[in-house]
Chains A and B, each alone.
Chain A
């Protein structure tokens, strides 16, 4: 049973306690989850002989280390009694093993060595559309979070995604041509990363974003929430796919309240497609059907006999665009490399 894993332990047996990673974006959801987990641990430690059931590792991918300090201060009374680590990781660690990947006019993918040294900001700015930039940035955060899980020897990762956020992701992935990744990215269960098995859970999957907002307000957590850039004033053309989908759910929520839960529910019923898969050189996601072969059915320019050097998934191919290209990390570090190269600020 999964639930047994996190139960309070008694006596001196501390050997079997799992380490749980909680990636914190300072959005309402992840802060609410943090608040809940801390009070859960506090409850576990109330008995004299009790030992908390799991060790918490709180991670923020970003540069705002000061906010983490404020958070620790706010919870200092409780945290004194608990075993918890707080880590801020600079997303720049994502940059390694850069190469240039281009898509020719015939939809063939080429890989060339790269001599430029670009930082993360410059890497992201290569993409003109905000939507593609956001797609790649999301990948950066996800990757750095999972690498940190490996580096900190965590076997469980809990994400703060609310039901609304999950519904948004399911529809956005579909619109980005990444529908096949839904099962692997958003369903609770085990994934493998750098040779390590990680158990991923979304504990807030049954709670609406509006409910979490209320929780944050009532719990006095608002001061900790990082304000997001408002997109209301932006024209539709300048919004990202995710922002458009989020807006859509906000407008239909009042009239068709069941839609969000319906989408999340059907999302959990999805499975990864069958068959041998190649790995995308940019996002490392599985490719089940060669995008060029697929595009040959309906595109004159794709219908030419040229071979690709490296596999590129459909979503990334569309992000780069025909005739486009970008410099990007083309491999994931191994477990040893993660342990060796991560300088972790404690």
Chain B
């Protein structure tokens, strides 16, 4: 029979433990868990010197658990430790019916709960395409490629519009570890060294992005949201991630069950990955000639030597003459249907709403 003491919180030894911390299996009561979780996020912010007093920080808010907890916790910590920062919610509307419209409703509620200004930037306004249109044009398989490139730029543009130079996102330790594994599995040398950085900045861009939840377990974020009764949206994107990423996720879950520390272990490993210096081939090139050379990539884009170039079309930062987003959109434009077919008379919005009404029917 378990002794009475075994049910006590291992930290305060006063209240009843209600949970085992996923990170180290320590038994904690609700209050201690809140305290430890908040303190640990504060430690990350403090040690990494993420914020400057007086700074305005945009929280990339999707309405999901990570960004909702991020907004809640940053508000708490900002008041508790006097960071002196102003917080703003920044949302991207990708235009995915049945997913983003509902989650944006959550963000709007959060705006009131946390009393923060909210700015919504939509793909439709920026690029004249919604994700639904893109998927119907290019198929589900490449949806994440488009969405990723466009969102990155949309966040930057949204921040720029508000005159903000710092965006925080809710990426957690599980996301980081998964990225490290994916980089290895895909042999992505370009991202291997820097994927675990807490703060990233595109070359020449005035906007930096950081991830205060870099070391927070996803399970703990969910528990925090659950115990704090936070209002968040928990449906997965209609265009679920690619199948291969799914296999890596399963592996990580299994690893976590034999070694709970494994998520942090992978991040620790990831921070130590260093690529060998590439040997420079001695060539007969003279320096004068090198200056005049331009590399033409396989996709027809032209690489430019100096950083801080602007895309010829949209004016966004780019290492090429035309930025990646414009390049993708150009490809899409070619395959966009010139005319819509009459049989497609039922608009997608109504079709999806109908589908959902049917799902919720009960007899």
Residues of A within 8 A of B (CB): 129-131, 170-171, 173-180, 183, 236-241, 244-245, 248, 251-252, 256, 259, 262-263, 265-266, 269-274, 288-289, 291, 294, 296-300, 303, 314-315, 318, 322
**Beta-carbon contacts under 8 Å, B251-274 to A:** 251, 254-255, 257-259, 261-262, 264-266, 268-274
Q: Does B224 contact A (CB under 8 A)?
A: no
Are A179 and B257 in contact, CB atoms less than 8 angstroms apart? Answer: no
Stretch at the interface among B40-48, B57-65, B66-74, B343-351: B40-48
Q: How large is the interface on B (under 10, 10 to 19, 20 to 34, 35 or more residues)?
A: 35 or more
A180 to B186, CA, bound (A): 19
> A-B pairs with CB below 8 Å: how many?
134
Q: Does B189 contact A (CB under 8 A)?
A: yes
Are B215 and A244 in contact, CB atoms less than 8 angstroms apart? Answer: no
Q: CB < 8 Å: which of A179, A251, A303 contacts B272?
A: A179
Are B258 and A131 in contact, CB atoms less than 8 angstroms apart? Answer: yes
A339 to B81, CA, bound (A): 61
Are A256 and B251 in contact, CB atoms less than 8 angstroms apart? Answer: no
Are A263 and B184 in contact, CB atoms less than 8 angstroms apart? Answer: yes
Are B184 and A170 in contact, CB atoms less than 8 angstroms apart? Answer: yes
If the complex has contacts A174-B269, A175-B255, A244-B255, are A296 and B47 also in contact, measured as CB distance less than 8 A?
A: yes
A301 CB → nearest B CB, Å = 9
Are B47 and A256 in contact, CB atoms less than 8 angstroms apart? Answer: no
A199 CB → nearest B CB, Å = 18
Chain B residues whose CB sits within 8 angstroms of the CB of A180 once the complex forms = 269, 272-273
A174 to B257, CA, bound (A): 16
Q: CB < 8 Å: which of B189, B244, B266, B271 contacts A175?
A: B266
If the complex has contacts A174-B184, A176-B265, A271-B277, are A244 and B258 also in contact, measured as CB distance less than 8 A?
A: yes
Identify the interface centre among B183, B247, B255, B271: most chain A CB within 10 Å of its CB.
Answer: B255
- A174-B270, A177-B266, A180-B273 known; 8 other A-B pairs, CB under 8 Å? A129-B258, A176-B259, A180-B269, A180-B272, A239-B254, A266-B183, A271-B275, A298-B44
Q: Does B39 contact A (CB under 8 A)?
A: yes
A173 to B184, CA, bound (A): 12
A322 to B257, CA, bound (A): 18
Chain B residues whose CB sits within 8 angstroms of the CB of A259 once the complex forms = 185
B49 CB → nearest A CB, Å = 11
Chain A residues whose CB sits within 8 angstroms of the CB of B277 once the complex forms = 271
Are A178 and B269 in contact, CB atoms less than 8 angstroms apart? Answer: yes
Q: CB < 8 Å: which of A176, A298, A303, A322 contacts B215?
A: A298
B70 CB → nearest A CB, Å = 15
Q: Does B192 contact A (CB under 8 A)?
A: yes
Q: CB < 8 Å: which of A129, A244, A263, A272 contacts B254?
A: A244
Q: Does B181 contact A (CB under 8 A)?
A: yes
A318 to B275, CA, bound (A): 25
A256 CB → nearest B CB, Å = 6
Q: Chain B: which residue is nearest A267 at the CB level?
A: B184
Q: Chain A: which residue is nearest B183 at the CB level?
A: A266
Are B259 and A300 in contact, CB atoms less than 8 angstroms apart? Answer: no
Chain A residues whose CB sits within 8 angstroms of the CB of B258 once the complex forms = 129-131, 236-241, 244
Are B276 and A237 in contact, CB atoms less than 8 angstroms apart? Answer: no
If the complex has contacts A171-B184, A263-B187, are A256 and B269 also in contact, measured as CB distance less than 8 A?
A: no
Identify the interface centre among A239, A265, A271, A300: most chain B CB within 10 Å of its CB.
Answer: A300
Q: Does B180 contact A (CB under 8 A)?
A: yes
Are A266 and B187 in contact, CB atoms less than 8 angstroms apart? Answer: yes
What are 8 A-B contacts with C-beta separation under 8 Å? A129-B259, A170-B184, A175-B266, A176-B262, A177-B269, A263-B184, A265-B187, A289-B272
Chain A residues whose CB sits within 8 angstroms of the CB of B183 once the complex forms = 266
Q: Chain B: which residue is nearest A291 at the CB level?
A: B268
Q: Does B24 contact A (CB under 8 A)?
A: yes
A168 CB → nearest B CB, Å = 12
A314 to B264, CA, bound (A): 11
Are A322 and B259 in contact, CB atoms less than 8 angstroms apart? Answer: no
A297 to B48, CA, bound (A): 8
Identify the interface centre among A238, A274, A314: most chain B CB within 10 Å of its CB.
Answer: A314
Q: Does B149 contact A (CB under 8 A)?
A: no
B255 CB → nearest A CB, Å = 5
Chain A residues whose CB sits within 8 angstroms of the CB of B189 once the complex forms = 266, 269
Identify the interface centre among B47, B189, B215, B251: most chain A CB within 10 Å of its CB.
Answer: B251
A170 to B273, CA, bound (A): 12
